[in-house]
Amino acid sequence: MSLPDKDIEDFWMTFKCCLKNVFKEYNTDIDLDSFSNILNIYQKEEKYDMIEYNIHKFMCRLIYIMCKNFMKNDYYEYYLRIIITNFNRWEKLRNKYKFFKNTIDNENIYYVLSYCLKYNIRNNKYISIKKNFFKNVDTIIHNSDYNSIIDYAISIKNYNILDIVNKYYNVISYINNKYLLKLPINMSGIKILKNIS
């Protein structure tokens, strides 16, 4: 089995190279070199929990940046693919090691938002609904507002997002209350959309 610091270092070095152009485009205040130096200090001290925590917070921040800059330019989808691909790589690596045992603030909402972004790639329908949704991302994150995400998924007819939200929140309870339905608790997103329409 490979050492955790080797796996994490491989992940970070390849991702860091990809990010330089993204950061030029979106004028972030993130200093990649300084962040890498912090990770190197933790690596020398074998504080893998702090490496995991900091990279995860960093990944969440990237999801936030892409939400705030939704469809800003022609390169948006290209950059979004890079970030989503690496967010998924990071999740697999985290699940493999899980050094940081505590809950990370708003961790699940960022995970769900990454899926909201992912399912917009190469989908040019409902652009005004999407722009309005991502414009309100600060409120959604601050309030862990899964209800808004459910409403968004319904409005763009995306059952995949409903299935993802259902891992962290009682989607059926919200749907039943809002639409005065009596749907069973384990219903899939695609069946939810059929019953609503």
Is 85 within the bounds of a domain?
Answer: yes
Is 113 within the bounds of a domain?
Answer: no
Is 151 within the bounds of a domain?
Answer: no
Is 28 within the bounds of a domain?
Answer: yes
Which pLDDT does position 1 carry in this prediction?
38
Of the pLDDT bands very low, low, confident and very high (cuts 50, 70, 90), residue 4 is low
- Token digits of residue 25: 């485009």
Q: Is the pLDDT of residue 90 over 70?
A: yes
Higher pLDDT, 51 or 104: 51
Residues 10-65 have pLDDT tens digits of 888 889 888 877 887 777 778 888 999 999 999 899 888 888 889 989 999 999 99
Is 167 within the bounds of a domain?
Answer: no
- Token digits of residue 123: 């989908």
CA atoms within 13 A on the CB side of 17: 5
Q: Is the pLDDT of residue 140 over 90?
A: yes
Q: Is the pLDDT of residue 96 over 90?
A: no
- Token digits of residue 156: 């763009």
Which are the contacts of 140, defined by CB distance < 8 A and separation ≥ 6? Answer: 109, 113, 148, 149
Q: Is the pLDDT of residue 2 over 60?
A: no
Is 123 within the bounds of a domain?
Answer: no
Is 36 within the bounds of a domain?
Answer: yes
| Count of structural domains within the chain | 1
Nearest to 133, CA basis, from 44, 65, 68: 68
25: domain range? Answer: 4-102
Is 116 within the bounds of a domain?
Answer: no
Residues 107-134 have pLDDT tens digits of 789 989 999 999 988 788 899 999 999 9
Weakest-pLDDT range from 2-6, 89-93, 161-165 = 2-6
Which are the contacts of 58, defined by CB distance < 8 A and separation ≥ 6? Answer: 30, 35
H runs (alpha helix) in the chain: 4-26, 32-44, 48-68, 76-97, 107-118, 127-135, 137-142, 146-155, 159-165, 171-179, 189-196
- Token digits of residue 57: 């917070």
| Dihedral of the alpha carbons of 41, 109, 13, 118, in degrees to the nearest 10 | 180
Q: What is the pTM of this model?
A: 0.88
